[in-house]
Structure 1
Amino acid sequence: GLAEWYALVQKMRSEKPSLRIGIVGKYVELEDAYLSVKESLIHAGLAVDRDVEFQWISSEDLEKGRDISGLEAVDGIVVPGGFGYRGIEGKIVAARFARQHNVPYLGLCLGMQVMCIEKARDFFNSDEPNSTEFDISTEYPIIDLMPDQRDIADMGGTMRLGTYPCQLEPDSKAGRAYMSQGHGQIVLERHRHRFEFNNAYRKTLEEQGVRFTGLSPDGRLVEIAELRDHPFMVGSQFHPEFKSRPNRPHPLFLAFIKAAVQYRDQQQSTSGGVTVEQPTVDGPSTNGYAQERVAV
């Protein structure tokens, strides 16, 4: 009732410790392009008594200049959904930074795909793994149209749009996040995308520490991926930001914010930050795989 909302407003107005979250995208000059993501993070922050502040990081700047100072300044990294090749390599830089330095990472739709592409590039020691959305002739199509979609010429006809079920692996970061808020093993989530994780690479990435902890009930489609040996690196093919509410934060956002709080506390109790070797445009990347292509 009204008492719940009154308490929520009081909590919003009260002074709280801050938390800095980096949002990596190509439309960061217009923050409202990511309004649902921003509000979902604020909802989750309220649930753990944290004031969420935002570091807006241009994925195009990341890929052009390799300036990762924005990534070094945050307690967690979010890569939201999007379409198109522009800025994609910068998002891969962000995913690599999060993986290498154990920074909490939440990938939404394209953000999950980026996370899987980055892990594949690390394994194959090559910049060739990609999505056929960005490179139709890639040798390693980690993200691709499903076989039954390829004959549909109209772009809109291949879109997976609306609510679909996701079956969770209970013993996983994602599963525990949902079940701690009273959800069952099957949840309904909203989608808006064309491309899917390519199951031809599922076993390869599983052997490299990727867990596919949310699947369509028939097991054909990857809905959630996470890294086994990382404090919190989780990606969803769906858009959880569309189901978050001020008094009911989405489980994935809440779990991410809790991980970011833990990361911040750890950083403050040690030397106060990560030390990284900044990658260069002309040289090899920090994890040794080949120089990435950059959209002009």
Structure 2
Amino acid sequence: MIPKIAILGDFNPNHFTLHALNDTTRSVQKKLNREIQFDWIATDIFDAKTVFEKHKYLGLWIAPGSPYRDMENVLNAVQFTRENNIPTFGNCGGFQHMIIEFARNVCNIENADHEETNPDAKDSLIKKLSCSLRGEQENLKIIDKNSFLYRTINQDTIIGKYNCSYGISEKYVDILKGRGLSLTSISEDGHYRSFEIQSHPFFVGTLFQPALTSTENQPNPMIVEFVKKSLDRI
């Protein structure tokens, strides 16, 4: 049986970043010399129990492309994979919604929300960046040497490429860290760009999009590591 990984997102053929993600799924299979089935499942039809218990998907990759058609479905999927130790990798919008889910269900910030979809939210965990990162890249410092990110990249810095305008609100960083979220990389101007839960088999979010720094022969190592952790569930 071919192993399967779910891609949670609303595919739009006009978004080059999603084509880059698809390209990376092929390069990872080549890198690992293994056939893997990557299936896009739209946010408005995604049901975690069906996906992971009935259809036996091994991991969840939350694609860029927010606002999603069904934000609550995305948050429910993240909660399910976090609580059931299913490898989860979120980029850009995925990063943002993983933060919101963690804030609501672990930090008890019931009104945690996204400024893009709810500008009047009481607790905007995800806020509009002072400078848009659409089409930009940054040199990031890896600040947690115990992280999956550092152990996988095995260097002190990493290049992050973006296509977004929203990021984590520093106002809530201490609360998130206090409940077990490890912030793992920081930009030169002091903003956090990735996180993980180190007690989880693989629960990693990056505001940058690793698929944008992948090549046909060298897929981004974090994507490769996510796929390996998913395959470990076989």
TM-score by length of 2: 0.89
Identical aligned pairs, as a percentage? Answer: 23
Cα distance in 1 for residues equivalent to 2:2 and 2:19: 19
AA of the residue aligned to 1:37: L
Change (3 A) 1:239 1:96: same
Question: Quick check: which one's helix share is greater?
Answer: 1
Unaligned runs of at least 5 residues, structure 2: none
Task: Verify the 8 A CA contact 2:17 2:212 in the aligned structure 1.
Answer: no
Q: Per-residue displacement from partner, 1:13-53 (whole Å, max 9, x unpaired)?
A: xxxx7321101112389999833212213322332232110
Partner of 1:165: 139
Q: How many aligned residue pairs are there?
A: 231
The answer as to whether partners of 2:13 and 2:19 remain within 8 angstroms in 1 is no
Counterpart of 1:244, as a letter, is S
Note the 1:32-71 alignment, pairs <5 A: 34-62=18-46, 66=47, 68-71=49-52
The aligned residue for residue 223 of structure 1 is 193
Query: In the TM superposition, what is the alpha-carbon distance from 1:200 to its structure 2 partner?
Result: 1.0
CA distance in 2 between counterparts of 1:55 and 1:31 reads 17
Shift of 1:228: 2.0
| 1:143-175 Cα shifts (integer Å, max 9, x gaps) | 1124xx3xxxxxxx7444311111113321011
Letter aligned with residue 69 of structure 1 = T
- Partners in 2 of 1:30 and 1:56 — Cα distance? 16
Partners of 1:207 and 1:200 lie apart in 2 by 13
The Cα of 1:222 is off from its aligned counterpart by 1.3
Letter in 2 for 1:202: V
2:176 equivalent to 1:176: no
- Which residue in 1 is equivalent to 2:213? 243
Taking the aligned partners of 2:223 and 2:193, their CA distance within structure 1 comes to 16
Structure 1 residue 126: Cα displacement: 5.8
Q: CA deviation at 1:242?
A: 1.1
Q: Secondary structure at the match of 1:51?
A: coil
Q: Distance in 2 between matches of 1:236 and 1:247?
A: 22
Secondary structure of 1:249's aligned partner:
coil
CA RMSD of aligned residues (A): 2.4
Cα displacement (A) at 1:115: 0.7
The answer for the alignment partner of 1:272 in structure 2 is none
1:262 pairs with 2:232: yes
Residue 81 (structure 1) shift: 0.8
Unpaired runs of 5+ residues, structure 1, are: 1-16, 150-156, 265-296
Would the alpha carbon gap of residues 160 and 30 (structure 1) be closer, same or farther in structure 2, given more than 3 Å must change? Answer: closer
SS in 1 for 2:73: helix
- Alpha-carbon separation, structure 1, partners of 2:29 and 2:139: 27
Whole-Å Cα distance in 1 between the matches of residues 148 and 222 of structure 2?
9
Structure 1 or 2, whichever has the larger Rg, is 1
Aligned residue for 2:163, secondary structure, equals strand
Q: Which moved more, 1:248-257 or 1:123-132?
A: 123-132
Distance in 2, matches of 1:228 and 1:201, equals 19
Q: Which residue of 2 aligns with 1:210?
A: 181
Query: Is contact 1:226–1:234 with CA below 8 Å preserved after alignment?
Result: yes
Instruction: Give distance in 2, aligned partners of 1:139 and 1:104.
Output: 31
Q: Offset at 1:100?
A: 0.9
Secondary structure in 2 matching 1:164: strand
Q: How does 1:1-150 map to 2 (within 5 A)?
A: 18-27=2-11, 34-62=18-46, 66=47, 68-72=49-53, 73-84=56-67, 86-125=69-108, 127-146=110-129, 149=130
Q: Partner of 1:186 in structure 2?
A: 157
CA deviation string 1:185-228 (max 9, x = no partner): 1111211111110111111111111101111134x211111112
